[in-house]
Amino acid sequence: MSISSFRDLRVWQQGMDLVVAIYRMTSLFPRHETYGLASQLQRAAVSRPSNLAEGHTREHTREYVHHVSIARASLAEVETQCEIAHRLGYLGVDDLQRLLNETSTLGRQLTALRDSLARRLEAGSNP
């Protein structure tokens, strides 16, 4: 399958699914968290597929790798904030495990994408 758009990337598609799950989950947080943990978690979740989209549309592979790196960091933020939500009692253990499983899968996909892009850089095509 040819990748002609960031929308064709499975890691972007699944990242969008994670955004929806995070928004649904945070809608159940206490009202006083609307501008706190809920907002932070939503922004980190949105950042991940957004950076993939931006990186994919950049002209140079090195810029793409940079944006994949930012997406990986945002994923780590999501994981940490989900753990915090669990510790505060806003997120049950089953929901936490489901989200951590999703983030783990996305992390592996991002690593594979980064490695593929790194090989492209090493081959000297479109630095």
- Please provide residue 26's backbone torsions phi and psi, each rounded to the nearest 5 degrees: -70, -20
Query: Residue 2: what pLDDT?
Result: 76
Please report how the helices 10-26 and 37-57 are oriented relative to each other, as an axis angle in degrees rounded to 10. 160
Q: Is the pLDDT of residue 49 over 90?
A: yes
Confidence of residue 54 (pLDDT cuts 50, 70, 90): very high
- Determine the average pLDDT of the residues in 86-107: 97
Q: What is the pLDDT of residues 10-44, one digit of tens each?
A: 999 999 999 999 999 999 999 999 999 999 999 99
Closest CA to 3 of 104, 113, 105, 107: 113
Query: Residue 124: what pLDDT?
Result: 78
Domains of the chain in start order, with CATH, are: 6-122 (1.20.1440.60)
Query: Residue 107: what pLDDT?
Result: 97
Query: Residue 51: what pLDDT?
Result: 97
Mean pLDDT of the chain: 95
